[in-house]
Structure 1
Amino acid sequence: MNLKKIISSNNGLSLIEVLVSLTILGIISIGIMNFFSQAYSFTSSNQNKTNAINVARNAMMYMEKQSFIEIKDEFDRNPSKEISLFICQKQYKMFWEGETVDPSCTPILVNEVEYSVSIHADNTEEDKSYILPITVKVEWTKHKKSNFTELEGVIKSEDIR
């Protein structure tokens, strides 16, 4: 019965009641907006990581198409040597460590983010006569924060392709 009196009452809401309800609504809204902000940040970082993994996969496929013998011989002569991958005239081009990079070449660019690709061989394998384990490392900087991801794989000799 008491609830019926309150509902049918002609009295309006007081200023205090309105301010309290707006304060509660504001606190709930801030929490919800914080959730969406964090979700956007997480989605953006995952997008960059996904792009980097795709760049690494493309680099791995590019390396599989190169001459196994030349790459293996170069890594055998200097196991710590690295290969850097750049875009030159809309194609991948590899530069061995110490080689001068052509000024017309650029790092790989996806969605306005530059990805630097370096490739090195894993020389712990005992028998490397037909396969060469390699690691592709992709680095990028977003919002002054450096990130990287690595992809491991092998390139095979033409003899078993």
Structure 2
Amino acid sequence: MEKKKFIVLHRSKGFTLIEVLASIVILSTVATGIFLFFTNAMKYTTYNQGKTVAVNVARGVLAYMERLDFTALQQYVQTDMATTNKPYTEINASNCRSSLFESEQVCQAIFRPTINNIVYDETRLHVFVIPYNDTTQWDKFVQSPPTEFPASLKKKIAAETIENSDVNLQKYLLKIYVIVRWGDDDDQAEWLEGVIANETIR
């Protein structure tokens, strides 16, 4: 009787369970690191985008306010301060029907813009005008600044003093602060300050 020959195939050694688990752990660690990197990059980009938009909105408002008739604006500020008994006047989109603004539509576009599906309305955009070099009003303003002012601006005005107390400057200048909130946190706000000058001295 002829003997049958069997060929024994030796299987190559595969990965053990421990090796598979170790590779999964390493891959997960690397993937988590990459995911965190992109997540942080996205947050940083969104943060910077919010700041950039806020600054541009504030600049647009400031430029618009500078083009208004100075005498009419000054009278508006004086009347409003006498009525409200506050050391400043707040101007926002709700004031667009005032005779101070030539076009209500333009005023609404400036004071209530929609950018990246975010409406910068009265809760996000604040404009405050105060008399220039009026020491009495300035002291009141420093003692009780508007609640909309971010902490950094409150700190700045608290340290600020009127160097030139020439009362004649009040006839030709108004101080303005524009605050734009682009987030919900207190520090997520950008602000600009400026001076609006009478057309006769521009």
5+ residue gaps, structure 1, are 1-9, 95-104
Q: Deviations over 1:13-63 (max 9, x none)?
A: 333212202211211211220121121012112212211110110000100
Q: Max radius of gyration: which structure?
A: 2
CA distance in 1, matches of 2:34, 2:130: 48
CA distance in 2, matches of 1:124, 1:54: 25
The correspondence of residues 4-153 of structure 1 with structure 2, limited to 5 A, is 11-77=13-79, 78=81, 79-85=87-93, 91-93=106-108, 107-116=112-121, 117-123=125-131, 125=133, 126=165, 127-141=169-183, 145=184, 147-153=188-194
Change (3 A) 1:140 1:60: same
5+ residue gaps, structure 2, are 1-11, 82-86, 97-102, 134-164
Aligned to 1:98: none
Question: What TM-score, normalized by structure 2, do the two folds share?
Answer: 0.59
What one-letter code is carried by the residue in structure 1 that aligns with 2:112? Answer: P
Q: Could you say which structure has the higher strand fraction?
A: 1
Q: Deviations over 1:70-126 (max 9, x none)?
A: 2122223414221104787752249xxxxxxxxxx9821001011132211244624
Change (3 A) 1:124 1:160: closer
Change (3 A) 1:106 1:153: closer
Q: Is the 8 A contact 2:179 2:191 kept in 1?
A: yes
Higher relative contact order (CA 8 A, sep 6+): 2
1:154 CA drift (Å) = 1.2
Question: What TM-score, normalized by structure 1, do the two folds share?
Answer: 0.72
What one-letter code is carried by the residue in structure 1 that aligns with 2:174? Answer: L
Q: Could you say which structure has the higher helix fraction?
A: 2
Q: Identity of aligned pairs, percent? A: 34
